[in-house]
Copies of this chain bind each other. A is one copy, B any other.
Amino acid sequence: MLLTCYSLSQIDHFGFLQDGTFKQRYLVADDHWQHPDGPILFYTGNEGDITWFCNNTGFMWEVAEQLGAMLVFAEHRYYGESLPFGQDSYSDVKHLNYLTSEQALADFAVLIQNIKTIVPGAQNSPVIAIGGSYGGMLSAWFRMKYPNIVVGALAASAPIWQFPDMVPCGDFYKIVTQDFAKSGKNCDANIRRSWKAINNVSSSASGLQWLSEEFSLCSPLKNKNDAVSFKSWLQETWVNLAMVDYPYEANFLQPLPRWPIQVVCKYLGFDSTVSDEQLLHGVAQAAKVYYNYTGNAPCLNTSQTATSSLGALGWFFQACTEMVMPMCTDGVQDMFEPEEWSLQALSDECNSVFGVRPRADWAGTVYGGKKIGSHSNIIFSNGGLDPWSAGGVTANISQSLVSIMIPDGAHHLDLRYSNKLDPPSVRAARALELKYFQKWIRQCTYRSLRRKFWH
């Protein structure tokens, strides 16, 4: 049974002027927990409603039985129901000031200590942090900063190096492009061509109207600016498809068929003689695979590209402060319009929207950047199809900082429920992850016993 619980946490762990607390939501399942002392698998919640992450992390449910583990899914502050100032949490930068990864990690640490205090038999339970994407970054950082609280971490598809001067800014979109290139003939080439076609067609009012109808847009395009936003929306659509290119029908960001990019690419097989209108008709059909696989969407909404369970505004604030992740395109090694990375442009946008400016170097300073070799017990798993693997740890750093690659996997496929269509690589990854969990738990049990009998 899954219980919904709440724990009090300081709004500001790093200052004493703001002494208020807020209710942090967490979900608990203890059906398989062997108490006392059975392990706790702790999901370090990311930028969204924790129930949604809980439902999309079947792996934890499957290994709980094998490990006799309690499951805890902790909601990240400022997302879902865990709002430090209720409805006012997003009202201005004064209220948003406590939305940082450091505060979130401190919440997790305090929550685990609370659980160990209030749950009989949990006091000596080894805790393993698990997370995917930003949640995976948090689980890795949690082990780095609080090794007293968690014995190890699984950081699935966690781009901890997608920060300034750590990886080339173009790798992310290169991987997106490769996914399309290998999913159908001419598929990447036709997307690369589509931007020019949109520019051509959208130069006239009738063209804008035609585009809006072809794409069944809820809000028709009215001018050049709308066309620019429309291209951004399409670009984000292809990125999202690359993230969720799963080998079976699934509903993560959107309900989708198996290997959705292959389905999309069926509409994008034209040779180079195709007209702008023919090409864009194909692109529209392709986009509808992503936005209307169920056939129930009355129109396509360009203001949203993914599930509303994700907190887009909160993540935007985080990207405007600590989570500065440079990305760029050149139109040659990727299928997008060339665009350089500009910290200044981001900074100005952040200043106008929130009144804050990003600190580009801070994440590298506080979380170690490439110099993380002295830490231990972290698994970095990455999917070869996942564009976020560009910023991930894809080679072993040491015997206990290990990389697991899943060549056929998209974004944290390993965290999902197992499926009969799973490729062998993800089955192997999950089996190896379980082995590491068991090893960390054994290490911890051994240390406890030694403390008990030798001292």
Contact = CB atoms under 8 A, between A and B. Distances in A.
Given A148-B371, A356-B17, A366 B100 contact: no
A147 interface: yes
Given A14-B102, A103-B14, A365-B109, A356 B19 contact: yes
B366 A109 contact: yes
Contact of A16 (B97, B113, B148, B372): B97
A359 B97 contact: no
Contacts of A377: 374
A210 interface: no
Interface in A365-415: 365-366, 368-369, 371-377
A92 to B, nearest CB: 9
A165 to B, nearest CB: 12
A22 to B, nearest CB: 15
A113 B15 contact: no
Contact of A15 (B100, B366, B368): B100
Contact of A361 (B98, B113, B321, B375): B113
A263 interface: no
A100 B14 CA distance: 7
Interface in A94-114: 94, 96-98, 100, 102-103, 106, 109-110, 113
Given A19-B356, A19-B357, A362 B148 contact: no
Copies per assembly: 2
Majority secondary structure of chain A interface residues (helix, strand, loop or mixed): loop
Contacts of A110: 365
A313 interface: no
Q: Interface size for chain A: under 10, 10 to 19, 20 to 34, or 35 or more residues?
A: 35 or more
A231 interface: no
Contact of A148 (B94, B109, B372): B372
Contacts of A372: 147-148
A212 interface: no
Nearest to A447: B373
Given A113-B365, A359-B10, A365-B113, A371 B147 contact: yes
Interface string A290-301: 000000000000
Given A14-B103, A19-B356, A356-B17, A368 B97 contact: no
A416 to B, nearest CB: 30
A15 B99 CA distance: 8
Interface string A328-345: 000000000000000000
Contacts of A373: 447
Contacts of A113: 361, 365
A93 interface: yes
Of listed A103, A106, A374, residue having the most chain B CB within 10 A: A374
B374 A147 contact: yes
Contacts of A96: 17
Interface of A: 10, 12-17, 19, 93-94, 96-98, 100, 102-103, 106, 109-110, 113, 145-149, 321, 356-357, 359, 361-362, 365-366, 368-369, 371-377, 447
14 contacts: A13-B362, A14-B14, A14-B15, A15-B15, A16-B321, A17-B93, A19-B356, A19-B357, A106-B366, A110-B365, A148-B371, A148-B372, A149-B365, A374-B375
